[in-house]
């Protein structure tokens, strides 16, 4: 996927903190955002709101990192996330 620099930086920090284990981001509670490309505040917030339902296989450290990545995305202006949506073939939000 092609992301803006700010989004890529968040992903890179999370991936580094996960020792390169991208599966935690791709298949865990943040998969709707990081893997499926639903990059908008509503989808990110949905992942946070439903975090506990989908994080039971993660370690405490992994949960902290994944939640941090989602919260960091929420701090970005919506417009930066919309740019990503356009890049990803106009995928629509789950919201």
pLDDT in tens, 29-72: 999 999 998 889 999 999 999 999 999 999 999 999 999 999 99
Band of pLDDT at residue 75, cut at 50, 70 and 90: very high
Q: Percentage helix, strand, coil, to 5, in the chain? A: 65, 0, 35
Residue 86 pLDDT > 70 = no
Tell me the average pLDDT across 10-22.
97
65 membership: H or E segment, kind and range: helix 60-75
Share of the chain above pLDDT 90, in %: 71
Band of pLDDT at residue 93, cut at 50, 70 and 90: low
To 10 degrees, what angle do helices 41-49 and 60-75 make?
150
46 membership: H or E segment, kind and range: helix 41-49
- Please classify residue 13 by burial: count the beta carbons closer than 10 Å to its beta carbon, then call 0-12 exposed, 13-18 middle and 19+ buried: middle
Tell me the average pLDDT across 4-16.
95
What's the mean per-residue pLDDT of the chain? 89
């Amino acid at each position: 996927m092609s992301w803006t620099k700010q989004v890529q930086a968040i992903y890179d920090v999370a991936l580094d903190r996960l020792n390169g284990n991208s599966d935690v981001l791709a298949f865990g509670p943040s998969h709707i955002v990081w893997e499926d490309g639903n990059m908008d505040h509503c989808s990110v917030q949905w992942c946070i709101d439903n975090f506990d339902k989908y994080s039971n296989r993660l370690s405490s450290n992994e949960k902290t990192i994944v939640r941090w990545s989602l919260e960091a995305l929420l701090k970005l202006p919506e417009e930066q996330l919309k740019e990503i949506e356009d890049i990803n073939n106009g995928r629509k939000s789950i919201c």
